[in-house]
Amino acid sequence: MVSTLGSYISILNRQKKIYVNSIFKHYGLGYSSCVFLIFISTNEGINQKELCKRLVIDEALATRTVRDLEKQGMILKRKDPEKPRSNTLYITEKGWELVPKLKEVFYNWWLSITDNIDEQQVEWLVSQIQYMSEKAREINRTNCNKDYKGDE
């Protein structure tokens, strides 16, 4: 049971990526770009380092994705007035035009995979997986060497 839980979560994630990529490929957007746009839309002005920490992703992926979104005219980078070596991120008008569609696709995916599950069971499942995710990060912060970057 224990070894299969992670596999099933991984399968869900991969299948969601395939679904999202198939819908947004004609916009020139991949899964990471879609996630970034949704996240930035609710956290405008966030800096790239905080984005990495909150999404639990590495900085190289963030740099590539932010660069691609900026080239596509979906986001703007501005110098952070409080941290001159850092940039803050904002959605452009072009990006804002796409955000509702992104949210709709992610929401519909969720509805599709949970359609025959009681809402309370879904909420319970999500809360348990969230707890396990936080616990895993805590364990790694405590037990891994100083190079651990799972929450940066």
Structural domain includes residue 17: yes
Structural domain includes residue 47: yes
Structural domain includes residue 132: no
Structural domain includes residue 128: no
Structural domain includes residue 124: no
Structural domain includes residue 139: no
List, for residues 62-106, the tens digit of each pLDDT value. Answer: 999 999 999 999 999 998 887 888 889 999 999 999 999 999 999
Mean pLDDT of 28-41: 96
If one counts the domains in the chain, the total is 1
pTM: 0.84
CATH code (residue 38):
1.10.10.10
List, for residues 99-139, the tens digit of each pLDDT value. Answer: 999 999 999 999 999 999 999 999 999 999 999 988 988 88
Among residues 115, 67, 105, 122, the alpha carbon closest in space to that of 89 is found at 67
Residue 31 pLDDT: 96
Name the residue range of residue 8's domain.
2-113
Give dist(CA 41, CA 140) in Å, integer.
30
Mean pLDDT of 10-34: 95
Res. 148: pLDDT tops 60: no
Structural domain includes residue 133: no
10 Å CB burial of residue 36 (0-12, 13-18, 19+) is buried
Structural domain includes residue 89: yes
